[in-house]
Structure 1
Amino acid sequence: MEEIGGYFHLELNRICNFSHYGGILLNSGRCSFEYILTQLSVKKIFLPFYTCEVVLEPILRRGIKYEFYGIDSNLEIQGRLKLGDGDYVLYTNYFGIKDHYVKQLANVYKSCLIIDNSQALFAERWMDIPTFYSPRKFVGLPDGGVAYCKKREEIELDFDKSYDRCEHLLSRYDRLASDGYSIFRMNSAKLKDQKMAYMSNLTKALIGNIDFTTVKNIRNSNFLYLHDRLSVSNKFDIGDINSFSCPMVYPYWSDDHTLRDRLIKNKIYVPTYWPNVMQWCTEDQLEYYLAKDIIPLPIDQRYNNKDLENIISIIRLR
């Protein structure tokens, strides 16, 4: 018998315009990647040097062989990888701006391709290529991931529980981000080596509360605003701005090596994607400098033109 009465839960709206309800809803992006690996007969996987170290968790857990490959300054695979039987290629849709290139790769590697859309929540899945997403990179969620795979054998999984990973989300209303950063780090650490499970009821309810149409529109508008003012000084070639659905950040590559610290000092918090790359690579590899020098400027739905002008003014202080 269901419980009746007692204290209230959070009152959440039911907007439900999340575009990935048709995928397998799991407890994190990396577990979504693992789900795909369980559905495919993967003997070996090629993955980019320029990627987050957490992608290794499911690969190592499944005992799959792996090999790194290099990318060029356009964030595209150097040359063509030679695949044997049971070999697969993992490609990251970097910053959410490589949608068009993903389509090109699909024509080359076909069913041997896996797409990491963790930074491209609004990118469409292409040609039934196995693909996974991480919504919490775009909106305020404690966890969660989505997997798509044409082959879908039933796997017996528990449902995750998320209530103990929400403190940083709640504290953000009453405190500064800097005050709750240690809690954010602690809750993120809880996802490390996490057992694969279905998405929690809480995370699903939070997703249903978000107006993703508005999220997408504001992000695209903010991206264009920064691009209009910074593209001339940006060493990174964004390419055709009509070739992608919705970016996660504005990738800004500058010769000003004081810029990252200057932004953070002025309370504009920009992460490093990804510190592990500078350990995996040497200084004669492009990926070392991609990780070190590209600054992901925030464009998300919390900000308006006034906020973006603050970012621009600090960049131009040099």
Structure 2
Amino acid sequence: MEIGGFLEFPELKDTERKESAYYYLTHLYDNYNFFADGRQAIKAVLLNTGDILNKTCYLPAYLCDSILQSFRELELDVKFYPHRELLKPVLDGKIKDSLVYLIDYFGTEPVSEKEIGEILDGNNMVILDVSHSILDEKRFSLTHENFYLISSLRKTFPIPDGGIVYHSDPNFKSSDIPPIKYEKKLEAMLLRKLYLNETDTHGTDTDMAEKSKWVKEHFLNLNQEYESYKYDSTVEPQSIPLTSCYILKNISMTDITDRRWQNLNFMHKEILKRDLLLFNQDKIKSPFILTLKFKNENERDSTRKRLIENDVYPPVLWDLKAYIPEEFSYERHLSKRILMVPIDQRYGPGEMSKVRDILNSAEMV
């Protein structure tokens, strides 16, 4: 039983239209546009901003480098802003006529609607990244001509790729360019589903184990090829894969949100080492992932190693030191102590109990 890794191809079901993930995503906001991935959604917003070259862009010092990609390609003026505890942004109240990029981290919403409104009052443009909070429909109540919400949908939904922009601009330009290379990710998802089914069915059968090993190597290579392509290519807005739309129309939002909340609630209740939890549960508005913090990097790495030895695979961590200046010590230090554990809709009490037992028995170094 493996836990974690990218989402495999899901079990599709005959889902009532209003119950589907597609219906949910397309009824959060009056105006929206799909794209092939999250970074393309960012690029589209930037390209739709006429005076973007004249704006200073304030980005959080705790972020994935894929967010930076479009800003770098357009050679925009980027400045990072710091955070205090629990990833609360520290923004200069004097920022005017600029772009401010905010992130809802790990299902929390560190910037309130009121605070976003105050930023917008300075004639600023705000991009709110809701990739981690897409399951909280209350987050979509604020509308403003200079306010955009973007999400990388594959972080929550089992699709080969997809991104979305929510906005209030009736003249927003989308893209009808067909998506490129997503078939590699789709094949990887299908092979991963086959692999998981075979390993669950045949267990320790020697011949099947050898075959499964080859299948796993192949889907991991396909996934890496796709990720490398995205990093090595210039971001160009493209349309969302039709396969992604089909999947979204045939998976249930209730199944996704209920299972995620059940798993998150279970882990918060069952973990004995309470100081491991980065956030109190009342701070979490969207059930994205279980976020843990450790005293130091050695403790984190030791626990991560133990999880992997037991076939639990935490997500890849952001390597801030490669692109965030040393002056942002809180963010760089946090990145060495943080660990995320999957709690998504693929898993139930059995898998969560396994993770709980590993975390509760782990010795801190």
For normalisation by structure 2, the TM-score amounts to: 0.76
**Residue 62 of structure 2 is aligned with which of 44, 50, 55?**
50
Change (3 A) 1:66 1:279: closer
State how far apart, in whole Å, the 1-side matches of 2:103 and 2:272 are. 23
| Alignment RMSD | 2.5
Structure 2 residue matching 1:185: 3-state secondary structure: helix
**1:163 touches 1:202 (CA, 8 Å); kept in 2?**
no
In the alignment, what sits opposite 2:106? Answer: 95
Structure 2 residue matching 1:295: 3-state secondary structure: strand
**Residue 72 of structure 1 is aligned with which of 77, 84, 97?**
84
Q: Deviations over 1:37-89 (max 9, x none)?
A: 2233331211111100011111122232110111112111125353132x111
Write out the 4+ residue segments of structure 1 that deviate beyond 6 Å after TM superposition: none
Aligned amino acid, residue 126 of structure 2: L
Alignment of 1:180-259 (within 5 A): 180-192=219-231, 193-230=234-271, 232-239=273-280, 241=282, 244-255=284-295, 256-257=299-300, 258-259=302-303
Q: Deviations over 1:93-116 (max 9, x none)?
A: 001122x63424313212532101
**Residue 38 of structure 1 is aligned with which of 33, 39, 47?**
47
Aligned amino acid, residue 177 of structure 2: D
Deviation at 1:182, TM superposition (A): 2.5
**1:27 touches 1:143 (CA, 8 Å); kept in 2?**
yes
**Residue 61 of structure 1 is aligned with which of 73, 78, 87?**
73
In the alignment, what sits opposite 1:303? Answer: 347
**2:35 touches 2:237 (CA, 8 Å); kept in 1?**
yes
**Residue 127 of structure 2 is aligned with which of 96, 103, 114?**
114
Q: Deviations over 1:157-211 (max 9, x none)?
A: 3132533431111001221595432222222233333421121222211211211
In the alignment, what sits opposite 2:209? Answer: none
Runs (5+) with no aligned partner, structure 1: 1-9
Higher mean displacement: 224-233 or 165-174: 224-233
State how far apart, in whole Å, the 1-side matches of 2:119 and 2:166 are. 17
Structure 1 residue matching 2:315: 3-state secondary structure: coil
**2:13 touches 2:250 (CA, 8 Å); kept in 1?**
yes
In the alignment, what sits opposite 2:194? Answer: 174
**1:120 touches 1:248 (CA, 8 Å); kept in 2?**
yes
**Residue 289 of structure 1 is aligned with which of 333, 336, 339?**
333
Aligned amino acid, residue 150 of structure 1: S
State how far apart, in whole Å, the 2-side matches of 1:197 and 1:12 are. 28
Q: Please state if 1:20 is matched with 2:25.
A: yes
Q: Deviations over 1:265-301 (max 9, x none)?
A: 2111002431134652439711112222111111001
Structure 2 residue matching 1:143: 3-state secondary structure: coil
Identity of aligned residues (%): 20
Structure 1 residue matching 2:265: 3-state secondary structure: helix
**Residue 127 of structure 1 is aligned with which of 137, 142, 145?**
142
Deviation at 1:153, TM superposition (A): 2.1
State how far apart, in whole Å, the 2-side matches of 1:178 and 1:316 are. 29
Q: Higher helix fraction: Structure 1 or Structure 2?
A: 2
Deviation at 1:244, TM superposition (A): 4.4
Change (3 A) 1:32 1:279: closer
State how far apart, in whole Å, the 1-side matches of 2:170 and 2:72 are. 22
**2:13 touches 2:251 (CA, 8 Å); kept in 1?**
no
For normalisation by structure 1, the TM-score amounts to: 0.87
